[in-house]
Amino acid sequence: MLDTVDGDTLRHTLPDPVAKPNTLQPEVGYADSDNEWPAPEPIASADALVQKLSDDIIPGCLRDWCVDVAERKAVPIDYVGVAAIVALSAVVGRRALIYPKRFDNWRVVPNLWGAIIGPSGVLKTPALKDSIAVLQQFEMEASADFEEQFEKYKWEQRVFEAKCKDIEKELAKPQADTVALRSELESGRPNLPSMTRYIVNDSTVEKLGEILRDNPNGVLIVRDELTGLLESLNKPGREGDRQFYLEAWNGDGSFTSDRIGRGTVRIANACVSILGGIQPGPFYSFVKDACAGGTRADGLLQRFQVLVWPDIPRNYVHVDRRPNEAAYNAAHGLFAKLISMDGTRKMYHFDKDAQEIFDTWFIALESRLRSKNETEAFSGHLGKYRSLVPSIALLWQLTVDSRSEITLEALSAAIRWAEYLESHARKVYALVESNSASAEILAQKITQEEIQDNFTIAEVEKNHWSGLSTTEAVKGAVDTLLRANWLRSRETQKSAPGRKTVRYTINPAVRTRW
pLDDT score recorded for residue 199: 95
CB under 8 Å, gap of 24 or more: what pairs does 146-154 form? Answer: 146/193, 146/195, 146/196, 149/193, 150/193, 153/190, 153/191, 153/192, 153/193
- List the chain residues with pLDDT less than 70: 1-35, 44-48, 255-265, 343, 431, 433-437, 493-498, 513-514
CA distance 226 to 186: 46
Closest-CA residue to 10 (of 50, 54, 56, 55): 50
Burial 134-155, CB ≥16 within 10 A → b, else e: bbbbbbeebeeebeeeeeebee
How, if at all, do strands 9-12 and 2-5 pair? antiparallel
**How confident is the model at residue 290, as a pLDDT?**
85
SS3 373: coil
Give the integer Cα–Cα distance in Å for 87 and 80.
10
Determine the Cα–Cα distance for residues 181 and 172; give it in Å rounded to an integer. Answer: 12
For 2-46+434-513, CATH gives 1.10.10
Under a CB-based contact definition with an 8 Å cutoff, are residues 319 and 46 in contact?
Answer: no
- The CA angle 393-199-156, to the nearest 5 degrees, is 125
Contact 303, 384 (CB under 8 A): yes
**Residue 234 phi/psi, 5° resolution?**
-95, -5
Q: Characterise 31 by phi-psi region: left (phi > 0), alpha (psi -120 to 50), beta (else).
A: beta
> Which one, of 35, 43, 131, 130, lies nearest residue 81 by Cα?
131
Region for 473 from its dihedrals, namely left if φ exceeds 0, alpha if ψ lies in -120 to 50, beta otherwise: alpha
| DSSP class of 108 | B
User: With contact defined as beta carbons under 8 Å apart, do 142 and 197 qualify?
Assistant: yes
What is the β-pairing status of strands 346-348 and 263-270?
unpaired
Q: How far apart are CA 470 and CA 513, in angstroms?
A: 29
pLDDT in tens, 99-125: 999 999 999 999 999 999 988 889 999
Q: Residue 190 to residues 38, 166, 196, 213: CA-CA distances in angstroms?
A: 85, 17, 18, 20
pTM of the model: 0.76
Tell me yes or no: is domain 55-97+108-140+196-354 CATH 1.25.40. Answer: no
| Pair type for strands 272-278 and 219-225 | parallel
Task: Tell me the C-alpha distance between 455 and 459, whole Å.
Answer: 6
Residue 19: the pLDDT is 36
What b/e readout covers 334-353, taking b as 16+ CB neighbours within 10 angstroms? Answer: bbeebbebeeeeeebebeee
Backbone angles phi, psi at 501, to 5 degrees: -130, 150
State the Cα–Cα distance between residues 256 and 264, nearest whole angstrom.
7
- Please tell me the predicted confidence (pLDDT) of residue 87: 96
Q: Provide the pLDDT for residue 291.
A: 85
Q: Side chain identity at 241, as an amino acid letter?
A: D
Q: Would you give the distance in Å from CA 281 to the centre of its chain? A: 17
196: left (phi over 0), alpha (psi -120 to 50) or beta: beta
First to last CA, the chain: 5
